[in-house]
Structure formats: structure tokens, C-alpha cells
Amino acid sequence: MARILIIGGHGKVALLLERILADRGDTVTGVIRNPAHEEDVVGTGAQALVADIETFDLDQLTNLIAGNDAVVWSAGAGGGAPERTYAVDRDAAIRSIDAAAAAGVRRYVMVSWIGSKEDHGIPEGDPFFPYADAKLAADEHLRASGLDWTILGPGALTLDPPTGRIAVDPQDGNGAVARADVAGVIAAVLDDPASTIGRTIRFGNGDAAIDEALRAAAS
């Protein structure tokens, strides 16, 4: 079983993922900023680690990540001020990637969004632009890092029950998807590095079982 560090451990997707991983026997640590969230993380079967990744420098993040087998980035500023969006979604994410490399933790899974590409089409005046710009910078840094990376680009997130089924590269280019299925995809990616390392996987709701969809898209 693996030791997995989830950065952004109190997010809706992260809490679902922590339970999946803990239930299958992995040792899971959820990194949280607010100590009041510790009980929620522990309730999933994971360990909680209080740390402010927005302010941690490279050495602090390296110490945080060291000793794990994989890192999952599921953190985000959650909108609001562009300055904080860049501080978390770009700068802290990039530092965590460099820290994983420095710590020798090669497996890194980034939770991004389906439109994270150079031609994302979000105009600079749009309130969503800082997020799109920050995520693109972090994703590109991860691709160039030399780590064993996977970038996941789910469509619009819903609170629907899990289906266990997805479509990779959905035709509508947006593909809403349940947060529970995003957690299922992350767990499947961690369990199948051979067919997911070095891939950017964009997905939404679909008809194929998650494992089958990931393998089919890799072939």
C-alpha cells in the first residue's frame, strides 16, 4: 500500500478521495490550513496535517512532502482576489512540484480543470481569468518537471451521486461530472501509473467504467 499526501485535504473532492484511499489500505495524509477541519479529515480514515501551503517556502514544502509515495494537488484559493488565486493556484502549486522533486517523491497528480490549455478562451477581463491563467502555469510547470505526472481536467463539478463512469475528452468540451467520480478517477490514476503517467486526462460524465475509460484513452 502507498503513502499518499493530499494537498487541499478538506476540499469536497479530497474528503471523498481520502475515504476511498484509506478504505483500500493506503496511508493517507490530508494537508489542511484550518485546524477546525481536522476532525472532518480524520473521519475519513486519513491523517490530518495542518500547514499553510500558501506561505510555506520550498524547504518547508520539501519536508512536508518527503517520505510519501505520491502527491495529489487538490488545493485552490476558491475564487476571490486575483492575488490570492495566483498565490495558491500558481505559486504554491509550483513550489509543491519543485518540493516533490527535491524530496524524491516522483509521483504527482494535479487536479486541474477541463479547459486548462493555452487556448482556454477566457478573456483577461473575465473574473475567471486569474484561475485559468494560474492553473495553466502550474500545469505547464508540472509537465516540464521530470516527475511522473498526471494532470486531471474534470468538467464542471456537481454534487450528484457517483456513477463510476466517465467519458474522456467529452464531445461537448465541458462535461459536468460528480465530485465523487473525480475522486474515483484520482484513485484509479494512482492505482494505474503505467497507463496514466505523462498524460493530461480531460473528462466528464460518460458511459464507460472509470478504469476502462482510462485504459482505452491510453491505447
Q: Is residue 51 within 8 Å of 99, Cβ to Cβ?
A: no
Residue with cell 484520482: 186
Which residues are CB-contacts of 140 (< 8 A; sequence separation ≥ 6)? none
Q: Is residue 196 within 8 Å of 152, Cβ to Cβ?
A: no
Give the structural domain span for 130: 3-218
Give me the DSSP letters along 22-77: HHTT-EEEEEES-GGGHHHHHTTT-EEEE--TTT--HHHHHHHHTT-SEEEE----
Q: Between residues 120 and 191, which one has the greater pLDDT? A: 191
pLDDT at 174: 67
Confidence of residue 64 (pLDDT cuts 50, 70, 90): very high
Count the domains in the chain.
1
| Phi, psi at 18, each rounded to 5° | -60, -40
How does 67-77 read in b/e, with b if 16+ C-beta sit within 10 Å? ebebbbbbbbb
| Phi, psi at 130, each rounded to 5° | -55, -40
CA–CA distances in Å: residue 45 to residues 3, 28, 40, 71, 218: 13, 8, 9, 17, 32
Grid coordinates representing 181 are 467520480
Residue 135 pLDDT exceeds 70: yes
Confidence of residue 119 (pLDDT cuts 50, 70, 90): confident
Residue 127 pLDDT exceeds 80: yes
Confidence of residue 198 (pLDDT cuts 50, 70, 90): very high
Q: Between residues 89 and 120, which one has the greater pLDDT? A: 89
Residue 173 pLDDT exceeds 80: no
CATH number at residue 16: 3.40.50.720
